[in-house]
Amino acid sequence: MKAKVARFYGFSDSEIRNMLYSDFQDYVRAIPILKAEESLSEIMIVSYPHSKKEFQQKVHKQLHRQANPDVWENKKKVLTLEDVARMIGRG
């Protein structure tokens, strides 16, 4: 796991060794959330105009759940692709 944290954040070995274990665990737990946020952005930009609506909604929901666990845990309103399109002026 140390190598994954070093690669993802660019930390040196000594920076990781000097880190509090609780901080290290926070960085580890944040990796999938940050990756999901990045993937969500990439997918929205690249695939939106080329994908079927059902596929867009499925992928969006899955990545949104990973990127926003607090929304899903607290059952808050989830943004749909249509919401996003309206927000960027395409709907």
pTM above 0.85, yes or no: no
Residue 75 vs residue 43, higher pLDDT: 43
- pLDDT grade for 40, boundaries at 50, 70 and 90: confident
Residue 71 has pLDDT above 80, yes or no: no
What long-range pairs does 62-70 form, CB within 8 A, spacing at least 24? 63/36, 63/39, 64/40, 66/32, 66/33, 66/36, 67/33, 67/36, 67/37, 67/40, 69/33
Q: Where are the domains of the chain?
A: 2-87
